[in-house]
Structure 1
Amino acid sequence: MARAAGVSQATVSLVMGEKWRGRVSEPTAEAVRSAARELGYRPNLAARNLRLGRTRTALLVVPALTNDFFARVYTGAARAAAEHGVGVVLYPSPEGIGPAPDPFASARDTLDGVIASSMAADALTDIREGGLPLVMLDSDPERPEAAATVNLDIADGMRQVARHLLALGHRHVAHIAADIDSWTFRVRAHALAETLGQGEGTVLRTEPAALDVSAGHRAAERALTGPGPRPTALICDGDVLAAGACKAARRLGLRVPDDVSVTGFDDLPLATALEPELTTVRLPAEAVGEAGLRALVSFLEGRPSATEVLPVELIPRASSAAVAAP
């Protein structure tokens, strides 16, 4: 290969070992890569990993596979992993966001690092025994255990929802809140209360619910039939909860959005399957997975990265409208 590219064996070693930057010019590196393609060269990854003490394998831990968001996080991580020659093992925690047992005889001997989406760092103690580097996604950026954190701008997403509804004249609002003690849902609740508090005469009621359609239905029904003025808008912590809220409104003889507006969070395929289509917050899940994998690779290569925050976007659809005149 060195002869074909017209370079030294040392240069080939640097380029194929991805250590050429700052030591070999880009044209020379491309000449080596081109020679490798023409000669059909494939590096012996097993030998290289043994020499480097690396497995080139990352574990992606998620609370569940029933939510499309986590499937898209995996898709993004796998795409970035392929670019870096890394394998990704997907592990849905048996306890949801609770303590996740080590799925291997020894994670330390099997993995280079762990990427965790929407999990608490202390839920991963068993897996990380031995000091495996940890990249947290959609998690508390203040936790010192994480080598890097990649977050969505969840607070801004909820602020966008609140401002959207305030602009439509809504002042009696119910929050159908995910009954899960995690950073992302605490941030949503705080941002919602803070933003709605800026509207004159705004009343906010909170109804907790497990993250499923039936629980969303029951929570929305409580909000719509409870004492006091009926909410004109239901703000849901997820599209699945919003689907339940729409169902509750229909069963109470209410029209969405004429009688009550409903918003979600996630922009799952479900959002456009509902009728009317759901106003929700679009989360770039694949970009989160890609950024998480890149952050882990950077850390392993001695280039620690700071917390990265990805923007989110409100997608207004037909499930939200101005408050009807009394």
Structure 2
Amino acid sequence: MTSNEAHPARRPAAARVTSRDVARAAGVSQAAVSLVLGDKWRGRVSPAKADAVRTAARELGYRPNLAARSLRLGRTRTVLMVVPALTTEFFARVYTGAARAAADHGFGVVLYPSPEGDPSPPASANGSVRAPVIRDPFDSAAATLDGVLASSMAAEALTTLRNADLPLVMLDSDPDDDRADATVNLDIADGARQLTDHLSALGHRRITHLTADVRSWTFGVRARVVADRLHGVPGALLRRQPAALCVDAGLQAAHAALTGPGPRPTALLCDDDTIAAGACKAVRRLGLRVPEDVSVTGFDDLALAVAVEPELTTVRLPAEEFGAAGLRALMAVLDGRPADAPTLPVELVPRGSTAPPPDAPGNAAHPGGT
């Protein structure tokens, strides 16, 4: 056996990318790289150079020495994101946006699903709903976190963290709530206005609001706005039917709304696309048609919205940008800067699940109200 056979050639380890490499690729100084990656560049580095630094860092695969930086800054470079449930598509997209923004700042995001915030509590073997077991993970974790990003639907999980005096940014929460250092919202009120006005413009007057059976600021806003928009509409009849955030609950709530006493509603305005999908099933099971007999609207514009037939008229929420905006606000709080706490715009997406009511001219000819 030759020496080469006894000791096979080893591939040299890849050299670690340094801040000097990033500076060279971006055409800036190392000081500028430190300012940009430490999110302290505003007013000191131009936006164009900051973008060049972030792009170079991503393309080169630059990873800062987090241990050394933590010792220097007194930070763990870790934030906690508290959401109602991991199985919810909307919050998965919010997390994706937050994680991408965190990576630009050299931070990591730990995701925690709050049991009491889960809108679909588990059932026991005999079918009864059992209360979730709450295990507080924060007592031991608080010392390893720099800050918290939390949905209002999981706010009750945050008592220990508030007591630990950690920076807190709330998502989709009452802006007057003084528990948070900053609040980042979607324009939920405008989304509810657009949906209600859409149905009203089509001629609907008998509308049942399938309300999410979740105690949360965001769903309270929707209920108030829908009622306010219909209050001045002549002949409007608004009813409410609560439903958990799942397809089966939407089906049951819609069935109750469509078969209850009094005139049948011509439109079902749902707080969530999953509720709306269940409502569409209920309409069909009663031998009715969507939208010719009953119009149905959703909220969120999940993948489910275009999986049903006809596709759902709904409100599109910029979930990833929402998460990124929340993370940026938390970074500002950590740096002692004023937090930009925007209200992000939402968009009505008319599709085939809405049309004029059955007694309106052209009902079948104009699906979606176009």
Q: TM-score, normalised by structure 2?
A: 0.79
Q: Matched residue of 2:165: which SS?
A: coil
Cα offset, 1:284, TM superposition: 0.6
Q: Which runs of 5+ in 2 are unaligned?
A: 1-17, 119-131, 361-370
Encode CA deviations 1:86-111: one digit per residue, 9 max, x unaligned: 10011111222699654255232111
CA distance in 2, matches of 1:180, 1:40: 42
Question: Which residue does 1:285 correspond to in 2?
Answer: 319
Evaluate the alpha carbon distance shift between residue 295 and residue 323 of structure 1 in structure 2; reply closer, same or farther with a 3 A threshold.
same
Which stretch shows the higher mean deviation, 19-28 or 250-259? 19-28
Cα offset, 1:2, TM superposition: 11
Q: 1:117-128 counterparts in 2 under 5 A?
A: 117-119=151-153, 121-128=155-162
User: Quick check: 1:321 aligned with 2:350?
Assistant: no
The structure number with the bigger radius of gyration is 2
Q: Matched residue of 1:270: which SS?
A: helix
Question: Which residue does 2:143 correspond to in 1?
Answer: 109
User: Quick check: 1:220 aligned with 2:254?
Assistant: yes
Question: Which residue does 2:128 correspond to in 1?
Answer: none
Encode CA deviations 1:154-195: one digit per residue, 9 max, x unaligned: 111011001000111100000111111110000000000000
Cα offset, 1:122, TM superposition: 4.3
Question: Which residue does 2:227 correspond to in 1?
Answer: 193
Match 2:279 to one of 233, 245, 248: 245
Question: Which residue does 1:73 correspond to in 2?
Answer: 94
Match 1:54 to one of 52, 75, 80: 75
CA distance in 2, matches of 1:35, 1:234: 50
CA distance in 2, matches of 1:147, 1:109: 19
Encode CA deviations 1:104-125: one digit per residue, 9 max, x unaligned: 5523211100000233544311
Cα offset, 1:50, TM superposition: 1.3
What is the letter of the counterpart of residue 238 of structure 1? D
Which fold has the larger relative contact order, with Cα–Cα distance below 8 Å and residues 6 or more apart in sequence? Answer: 1
What is the letter of the counterpart of residue 321 of structure 1? A
- On the 8 A contact 1:141/1:307 being kept in 2, the answer is no
Question: Which residue does 1:16 correspond to in 2?
Answer: 34
Q: 1:1-326 counterparts in 2 under 5 A?
A: 12=30, 15-17=33-35, 18=38, 19=40, 22=43, 43-96=64-117, 101-103=135-137, 106-119=140-153, 121-325=155-359
CA distance in 2, matches of 1:262, 1:34: 44
CA distance in 2, matches of 1:2, 1:250: 61
- On the 8 A contact 2:329/2:341 being kept in 1, the answer is no
Which stretch shows the higher mean deviation, 299-308 or 241-250? 299-308
Aligned residues: 321
Cα offset, 1:48, TM superposition: 1.4
Cα offset, 1:12, TM superposition: 4.2
Q: Matched residue of 1:89: which SS?
A: strand
Q: Which runs of 5+ in 1 are unaligned?
A: none
- On the 8 A contact 2:77/2:146 being kept in 1, the answer is yes
CA distance in 1, matches of 2:257, 2:52: 66
- On the 8 A contact 1:150/1:291 being kept in 2, the answer is yes
CA distance in 1, matches of 2:52, 2:240: 62
Evaluate the alpha carbon distance shift between residue 160 and residue 55 of structure 1 in structure 2; reply closer, same or farther with a 3 A threshold.
same
Q: TM-score, normalised by structure 1?
A: 0.89
CA distance in 2, matches of 1:87, 1:177: 35
